[in-house]
Amino acid sequence: MNVLYAVSESVPFVKTGGLADVAGSLPKALRAEGVDARVILPLYGSIADKWRLKMDFLFYTYVNVVWRRQYCGVFKLEHEGVVFYFIDNEYYFKRDNIYGSYDDGERFAFFSKAVLEILPLLDWKPEVINCNDWQTALIPIQISQDKSGFFDGVKTVFTIHNIEYQGRFGKDTLDDIFGLPFGLYESGILRFENDVNLMKGAIYKADRVTTVSPSYAEELRDPYYACGLDKVIEDNAYKLSGILNGLDVERYDPMTDASIAKNYGFKRPSGKKACKADLCRELGFDENDDSPILACISRLVGHKGFDLVQESLDRILSSNIRVVILGTGDAKFENFFREAEARYCGRVSANIMYSEKRASKIYAGSDMMLMPSRSEPCGLTQMIAMRYGAVPIVREVGGLKDTVRPLPAEDTNGFTFYAYTADEMVRAIENALNTWNDKDKWLGLMKRDMSEDLSWSRSAKKYIEIYNSLGN
């Protein structure tokens, strides 16, 4: 089976979030199961020269974005057994930021149209195109309108990684940018509060729709989580599946991670102590203090639950615990944690940045990982934390609910709370602290986390089941 994974970002080339991790891992897992999975993404200006030097230029063509005729170069690179195609156009993709430009609708309309334009020119044809989030939502919509005959029999899967970002644009973009018939808007397929909504259109027009965890698939039927698309999800529930993301266990492996002070694993967990001491030295904590370190590695934004942390930080620190934050986001949270670091010198560390190396050190050196999210489609942080023996404390939502099993389960691997309140979150942290005081019990919990099967293997098989169900 040939599968094209169309995506706006992918590790190791460009990353702003978990979508890039999935795009860099799932196709590799699909190939291990015998699927010829390939990836296509824009050739952003930020992609490093070390990758560009390895790319082969295939050809160029021109793509019509309604009345605009734009250059489209096509490059190819094979990485870890997976073929990646890159769409080149400096006008659209040589920017300081991947997202957030005033013309994002036009930029990703070009990308989606370019994907369909170049496929007949390649020496390889997909049977399935797996599109991801609004940036590629135009692809299944356009295929449904195609009259060339090339895409007859080509099926589409649309994966929702985060329904908050839907690709909403003014009504005038329908024929000025996207080149879509008014009937799709008038019928309600694309119309949303008098805007064009690309994600809505893709949900209706794709052959199958997936989300990144079973619980998130259920939550999307609830107006609280669906951001206005709950009726759309309900209409298309017959083709909706929730498949839990996996983790690249080769990339996130404390046995081989060169960024940490000492390598360790579930069979040799003692090295984590050296990593904790190293982290304490780097953060200015007392390395002789054995009290637990509670970490948060996240974007510092409201839906990640940082209003709960802000409300209860004093209560958390009244216990025998230290806190380390890593991430950037809303100024109010950035400033709050900077001020907390100054107030609680030696007990709070605010790392208002993102650094893969610092993240690895925090995963390896911390004892607990807090994720109090209001919404969390899947989450990779809790999986990475488990891999490194940092026991997760999470809210029971989305993929967090699907991956963290609390007491009294015999195979418990973390601590959870349900109600979105500071009191419930603090209670979960206190439960973790009580278990921490029983060193043997904590070691068993930590080793269970580190031995979890978090790989993509099971999830890749479920994607293959969906692709096979399309009848190709």
Tell me the torsion sign for CA atoms 351, 356, 360, 361.
negative
Residue 83's pLDDT is: 98
From residue 370, how far is each of 145, 326, 346 by CA, in Å?
Answer: 46, 12, 19
Locate 201 and state its tokens: 């259109």
Reported pTM: 0.94
The SS3 of residue 58 is strand
Residue type, 85: Y
| Residue 290 burial class via C-beta count within 10 angstroms: exposed 0-12, middle 13-18, buried 19 and up | exposed
Question: Which among 107, 8, 21, 110 is positioned nearest to 65, based on CA atoms?
Answer: 110
Residue type, 282: E
Outline where 124-270 has alpha helix (H): 138-145, 173-176, 182-186, 198-205, 214-219, 223-226, 230-235
Question: What are the sequence ranges of the domains in the chain?
Answer: 2-246+457-469, 271-450
Answer left, alpha or beta for residue 398, where phi above 0 means left and psi between -120 and 50 means alpha: left
| Residue 301 burial class via C-beta count within 10 angstroms: exposed 0-12, middle 13-18, buried 19 and up | middle
At the topology level of CATH, where does 271-450 sit? Answer: Rossmann fold (3.40.50)
pLDDT, one tens digit for every residue, the chain (472 residues)? 999 999 999 999 999 888 999 999 999 999 999 999 999 999 999 999 999 999 999 999 999 999 999 999 999 999 999 999 999 999 999 998 999 999 999 999 999 999 999 999 999 999 999 999 999 999 999 999 999 999 999 999 999 999 999 999 999 999 999 999 999 999 999 999 999 999 999 999 999 999 999 999 999 999 999 999 999 999 999 999 999 999 999 999 999 999 999 999 999 999 999 999 999 999 999 999 999 999 999 999 999 999 999 999 999 999 989 999 999 999 999 999 999 999 999 999 999 998 999 999 999 999 999 999 999 999 999 999 999 999 999 999 999 999 999 988 788 999 999 999 999 999 999 999 999 999 999 999 999 999 999 999 999 999 999 999 997 5
- Spatial strand order of the sheet with 391-395 comes to 348-351, 322-326, 293-297, 368-371, 391-395, 415-417
- Quick check: 381 and 414 in contact, CB under 8 A? no
- Quick check: 293 and 324 in contact, CB under 8 A? yes
Q: Which helix (H) or strand (E) element contains residue 73?
A: strand 68-79
d(CA 137, CA 269): 44
Which CATH superfamily includes the segment(s) 2-246+457-469? Glycogen Phosphorylase B; (3.40.50.2000)
Locate 247 and state its tokens: 């983790």
**Fold agreement (2-246+457-469, 271-450):** yes
Residue 472's pLDDT is: 52
